[in-house]
Amino acid sequence: MQRLSLRVCTMPEAGPASPSPAGRESFGSRLRAAMAARGPLCVGIDPHPALLKDWGLADDAAGLRRFSLTVLEAVGSLAAAVKPQVALYERHGSAGMAVLEEVLAAAQGQVLTIADAKRGDIGSTMAAYADAWLRDGSSLAADSVTLSPYLGFESLRPALDLAADTGRGVFVLALTSNPEGASVQHVGGTDSVARRIIEAAAAENSRYAGSLGSVGLVVGATVGSALTDLHLDLPAVRGPILAPGLGAQGATPADLRRTFGAAYPQVLGTSSRDILAAGPGAQGLRDAALRTLVGLRGE
């Protein structure tokens, strides 16, 4: 365990940079370097009311801030990325969003951030969402953001292009593990909605050099046999795969290897409650993150 901690204490220096189309180092290149140096772990920063209570914190902006910055301090030197759940900040109104801005700013230079906002709309509204989460100088700018493509993949164009211009990334919902998701994502069988989203993401990544593009997918860690049942080719996407569901939702690192097969090197395993339950002490959070990393690395 100590050896692993020493290996991941600082944000890794990137190797030869893979540029975005605009010439900046791409998000995919930075994420690949972080995963290689630290391991394929994303820690969700999910300040659920029940967790705030368990930590002895008030369900208000002050409790939210204490919770979030404690998690960031504990795992920011261990994980390849952290993923604040935007809805759990929004529920506190402007004070909660101010905390989120502080967390995103504090993470800069320490760990990559994925704003779990699941935004999706059309036209100027989608452009406004892109401006909020992906524009240089925005107080909410993260390294990447989750997007919903269910108004049509091309409706995400403002975010896809702005992310490319600013060296940021996106993670597009493709195959989620909630029971309701299948009623949309599985439609079409071997020519499913999920397959079309995955193929569109692969086409987007053709604009990026290097081994990992900046257009990722969200694929639940507990989707089971759906990848093979629907004939989905994740390695061809050449983008990162954000796989929530590790730990408290039942998936193990061994499950991820079985589920994703040849695509496993692209997978960023995401654990939230399983690690967060080890708080409020920073050392407990670090130990839980390290245990998860050992499993993901197969050590």
| CA-based nearest residue to 214, from 12, 11, 18 | 18
For residue 271, what is the enclosing H or E element? Answer: strand 267-271
Q: What is the pLDDT of residue 1?
A: 33
Which pLDDT score is estimated for 249?
74
pLDDT at residue 4 greater than cutoff 90: no
pLDDT at position 177, please? Answer: 85
Amino acid at 36: A
Residue 159 in domain: yes
- If one counts every other C-beta atom within 10 angstroms of the C-beta of residue 101, the result is 15
Domain membership flag for residue 13: no
Q: Which domain holds residue 205?
A: 2-8+18-297
Total domains in the fold of the chain: 1
What average pLDDT does range 104-116 have in this prediction?
97
Give every CB contact of residue 66 below 8 A, 6+ residues apart in sequence. 57
* Residues labelled as active-site residues: 118
Structural domain includes residue 266: yes
First to last CA, the chain: 10
Peptide linkage before 240 cis (omega within 30 of 0): no
Res. 8 pLDDT band, cuts 50 70 90: very low
In the structure, what pLDDT confidence band is assigned to residue 63 with cuts at 50, 70 and 90?
very high
Q: What is the pLDDT of residues 149-208, one digit of tens each?
A: 999 999 999 999 999 999 999 999 999 988 899 999 999 999 999 999 999 999 999 999
CATH number (domain holding residue 284): 3.20.20.70
Residue 64 within a domain: yes
Question: At residue 221, does pLDDT exceed 80?
Answer: yes
Confidence check: pLDDT of 246 > 50: yes
Q: Which residues contact 67 (CB under 8 A, 6 or more apart)?
A: 45, 47, 51, 52, 55, 57, 279, 280
